[in-house]
């Protein structure tokens, strides 16, 4: 199933109109897909900003136009000379802040058109490299010509491009043979539900018990308890002064009786907190 098909299924079963996912999985990939319902769709950008973990099986010696196993083979080279030690020596160069060129088969836009649309029509264009953050890249299995790595990375990282670039650095080419998203922010694959389990939960009427509260993904921010006067200011979108600790990015605002009210963004030039997202009756 595509990520959109999962959303469409949950929308139909829940009869909720606002339903969205927090980060598309590549068509051949499996693993964690956070799905948000109702007002929780408004925190999707914050989920997408969270770090993700992938398990990637990379086949050396074969390059494809999509950088994965579903693409057309563009080149074959002998990779029998590549050793485990060479792979381990190559991996550290991809850790940290790196530059990646998006694959042609990606949703990045070029002059108003998606790259994959151009690629399908036989057009290849020069792509500007983009910054990506990789905090961990570890070899966990070596069965030549395949190696399996675990990747902790930030938003916008292309694991397919990582595999391609690794193959280039080893001089033999490479592509993704299998990809599993193990984690997306606080959501771990061990706590995830399969599609049949989701369908069963809706069929038997306990699906709402499986939902996380929408502020669960924001718990790494400071929480501020506000007065009734400040609650009214938040409801009307007015900036307010708060003692919200040292965090000068975002914070969570709660009423005195524990209701989650809003996401507030700090305005450093005014030393005030601006309501960014206000939740009705949360």
Which are the catalytic amino acids? Answer: 26
Q: Which helix (H) or strand (E) holds 87?
A: helix 84-90
Who contacts 190 (Cβ-Cβ below 8 Å, separation ≥6)?
A: none
Strands 222-225 and 250-254: parallel
Check: CB of residue 51 under 8 Å from CB of residue 74: no
Give the closest residue to 22 by CA, choosing from 8, 5, 2, 41.
Answer: 41
Between CA 149 and CA 100 the distance in angstroms is 18
DSSP strand E in 82-157: where? Answer: 96-100, 109-110, 113-114, 130-143, 146-153
Unique residue bearing structure tokens 């693409």: 71
Vertex 216 angle, CA 215 and 217, to 5° = 90
């Amino acid at each position: 199933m595509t990520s959109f098909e999962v959303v469409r299924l949950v929308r139909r079963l829940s009869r909720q109109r606002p339903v969205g996912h927090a980060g598309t999985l590549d068509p051949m990939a499996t693993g964690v897909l956070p799905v948000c319902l109702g007002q929780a769709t408004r925190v999707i950008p914050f989920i997408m900003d969270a770090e993700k973990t992938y398990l990637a099986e990379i086949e050396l010696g074969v390059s494809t136009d999509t950088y994965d196993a579903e693409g057309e083979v563009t080149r074959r080279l002998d990779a029998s000379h590549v050793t485990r030690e060479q792979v381990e020596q190559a991996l550290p160069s991809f850790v940290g802040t790196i530059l990646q060129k998006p694959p042609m088969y990606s949703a990045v836009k070029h002059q108003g058109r998606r790259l994959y649309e151009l690629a399908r029509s036989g057009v290849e264009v020069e792509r500007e490299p983009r910054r990506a953050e990789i905090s961990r890249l570890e070899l966990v299995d070596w069965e030549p010509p395949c190696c399996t790595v675990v990747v902790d990375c930030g938003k916008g990282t292309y694991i397919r491009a990582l595999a391609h670039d690794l193959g280039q650095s080893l001089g033999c080419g490479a592509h993704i043979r299998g990809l599993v998203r193990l984690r997306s922010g606080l959501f771990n694959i061990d706590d995830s539900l399969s599609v049949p389990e989701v369908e069963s939960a809706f069929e038997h009427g306990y699906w709402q018990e499986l939902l996380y509260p929408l502020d669960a993904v924001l718990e790494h921010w400071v929480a501020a308890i506000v007065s009734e006067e400040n609650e009214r200011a938040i409801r009307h979108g007015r900036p307010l002064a708060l003692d919200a600790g040292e965090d000068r990015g975002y914070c969570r605002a709660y009423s005195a009786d524990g209701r989650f009210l809003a996401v507030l963004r700090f305005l450093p030039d005014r030393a005030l907190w601006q309501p960014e997202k206000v939740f009705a009756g949360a």
